[in-house]
Structure 1
Amino acid sequence: MAFSGKFELESEKNYDEFMKRLGQSSEVIEKARNFKTITEIQQNGQDFTWAQSYSGGHIMTNKFTIGKESEIQTMGGKKFKATVQMEGSKLVVDFPNYHHTSEVVGDKLVEISTVGGVTYERVSKRVA
């Protein structure tokens, strides 16, 4: 499957500005900026398990099915209901405060989040 794999954070663009727009404090932004994020994705048809592990041992796991409402958890631990859609080769979901897309391009996982005119891009390289 196109999304299945393990990915390690390689680069970020507009992280600080995006997090400020989400209302995060400077302290939280600074602490999280240097997290080593590992994303593990298991795709079985329309069913996904999407796990992200962060420095310090925090792991966030979301399970969802394309086109069906699921409970999604944010990095900060907040839970909300959302429906993840597939648009072409991209996964698309609206979080409470921002729009998010994910796609695999070659051996990279490219995630783009947009809030209030600020676009945050996170690129992770496939490691398994």
Structure 2
Amino acid sequence: MSFTGKFELVSSDNFDEYLKACGVGMAKRALAATAKPTIEISEAGGLFTMKTSSTFKNTEIKFKLGEEFDEETADGRQAKSTMTADGNKLIHSQKIGDDSSVTVREFSGDSLKASFTAKGVTGTRVYKKV
């Protein structure tokens, strides 16, 4: 399964509640609600790069499947993260202090559905390949 490509956000559901469960403040949640990010995923020699771009913030992470890496989240929190693959899903586990969250990115045709879960709250974002 190829996880590479460029994807633009087309819909978002319950994302603010997910961010609230993560402890993200109101001002940053308001910015996130208006952002329409683009995600670009590339891979070379087993090293993946995921760039997320919006008018408010750009982030980039580099990872190898199954290997823990340090990550700074878009809202500035420091995480220990791991990416794994399961069929057409890329599973992103983050540990931030005593808290954890999981993002499952499911690739299907020309779409990417990302389900974000923390403290029992799930938000969903759907992206279209460009």
TM over 0.5: yes
Task: Give the 5 Å matches for 1:70-81.
Answer: 70-81=69-80
CA distance 1:76–1:36, shift in 2 (3 Å): same
In structure 2, what is the Cα distance between the partners aligned to 1:119 and 1:81? 20
State how many pairs are aligned. Answer: 126
Q: How far off its partner does 1:42 sit?
A: 0.3
Instruction: Spell out the pairing of 1:1-128 with structure 2 (5 A cutoff).
Output: 2-44=2-44, 46-56=46-56, 58-96=57-95, 97-127=100-130
Question: SS state of the match for residue 20, structure 2?
Answer: helix
- For 1:53 and 1:60, how far apart are their aligned partners in 2? 7
Secondary structure, counterpart of 2:31 in structure 1 = helix
What is the rounded CA distance, in whole Å, between the counterparts of 1:33 and 1:69 in structure 2? Answer: 29
- Which is further off, 74-83 or 29-38? 74-83
Gaps of 5+ in 1: none
Taking only aligned residues, the RMSD between alpha carbons, in angstroms, comes to 1.7
- Report the CA distance between 1:73 and its aligned residue: 2.4
Instruction: Report the alpha carbon displacement of residue 29 of structure 1 after superposing the two structures with TM.
Output: 1.5
Identity of aligned residues (%): 35
**Is the 8 Å Cα contact of residues 6 and 38 (structure 1) preserved in structure 2?**
yes
Q: Which runs of 5+ in 2 are unaligned?
A: none
Query: Which whole-Å CA distance do the structure 2 matches of 1:46 and 1:109 have between them?
Result: 21
Contact 2:7 2:39 in 1 (8 A): yes
Q: Structure 2: which amino acid aligns with 1:105?
A: S
Deviation at 1:105, TM superposition (A): 1.1
SS in 1 for 2:76: coil
Superposed displacement of residue 28, structure 1 = 2.1
